[in-house]
Amino acid sequence: MIKVVILGGGNVAQHLYTALSSQKLVDIVQCYNRKGITLHPDQNNNKIVTDLNKIVLANIYILAVSDDAIEEISTNLPFQNRFVVHTSGSVPMSTIKDTNRKGVFYPLQTFSKNTTVDFTKIPFCIEAESKDDKQLLKKLASFLSPKVYEISSEQRNILHVSAVFVNNFTNYLFSVGNDICDEHEIPFEILHPLIQETAQKIQKIIPDKAQTGPAIRNDLETIQRHLNILTDNTQKEIYQTLTRSIQSKYGKKL
């Protein structure tokens, strides 16, 4: 049985609690957050504390908190030589204070409060200082997902940059596309099948081979027509920047 304490009250903490609490070989012995937030409707409120000094003994302490809170909380933990991990994609493992054994337990996924997550499809990136701690993390992650990777802090930071491009930036582009549709009274849902096909395609072939559109075809007339349609200067700038970037990568000029 792996005894776990979860520190944090946000989306990651809530989803991890839901996933781990259903595992027979995991015992979430306690949860900490400053506001006493309940992570799940069925959670025992007696196991929620708001005082770090009341944290009990466990095998793993998971800091599912914001990036800028990791160092502060790890510094204020009232114990030593216990196994403390964080869930951040960009913060190095070394940020955790040296008084405890360090690790990283990073589920590479975007988490929303009211969206159910299938952890069996989520990759876990783990890191630890010792072989034994790494094996413990691997065991815990494998309860949730078959996709467990030993990734260094440097590699994880690179992954996080890539994730910003494929998730945060693409979602912003979806938002721009939605704005354009709204402006011209066109249902955005018409684009849903295209979005789904695009995401599915790059799971079968590399993105370079999936690239289509007027930029890679050097279709200057279509590009200009699109620019004429756009009324927002920021949208025009994004369109032109991405067009130049695509053509530069594939050897054509705008």
Q: Please check the confidence at residue 117 and state whether its pLDDT lies above 90.
A: no
Which pLDDT score is estimated for 252? 62
Map the chain to HEC letters.
Answer: CEEEEEECCCHHHHHHHHHHHCCCCEEEEEEECCCCCCCCCCCCHHHEECCHHHCCCCCEEEECCCHHHHHHHHHHCCCCCCEEEECCCCCCHHHCCCCCEEEEEEECCCCCCCCCCCHHHCCEEEEECCHHHHHHHHHHHHHHCCCEEECCHHHHHHHHHHHHHHHHHHHHHHHHHHHHHHHCCCCHHHHHHHHHHHHHHCCCCCHHHHCCCHHHHCCHHHHHHHHHHCCCHHHHHHHHHHHHHHHHHCCCCC
pLDDT digits (tens, 9 = 90+) for 33-53: 988 888 888 888 888 999 999
Q: What is the mean pLDDT of residues 226-246?
A: 96
The architecture of the domain spanning 156-249 is: Orthogonal Bundle (1.10)
pLDDT band at 254 (very low <50, low <70, confident <90, very high): low
pLDDT band at 92 (very low <50, low <70, confident <90, very high): very high
Q: What is the mean pLDDT of residues 138-159?
A: 95
User: What is the reported pTM?
Assistant: 0.84
Assign domain 2-151 to its CATH superfamily.
NAD(P)-binding Rossmann-like Domain (3.40.50.720)
Which pLDDT score is estimated for 57? 95
pLDDT band at 116 (very low <50, low <70, confident <90, very high): confident
Q: What is the mean pLDDT of residues 129-146?
A: 96
pLDDT band at 70 (very low <50, low <70, confident <90, very high): very high
Which pLDDT score is estimated for 2? 97
Q: What is the mean pLDDT of residues 72-77?
A: 96
Which pLDDT score is estimated for 253? 53
Q: Please check the confidence at residue 216 and state whether its pLDDT lies above 60.
A: yes
Domain ranges for the chain: 2-151, 156-249
Which pLDDT score is estimated for 61? 98
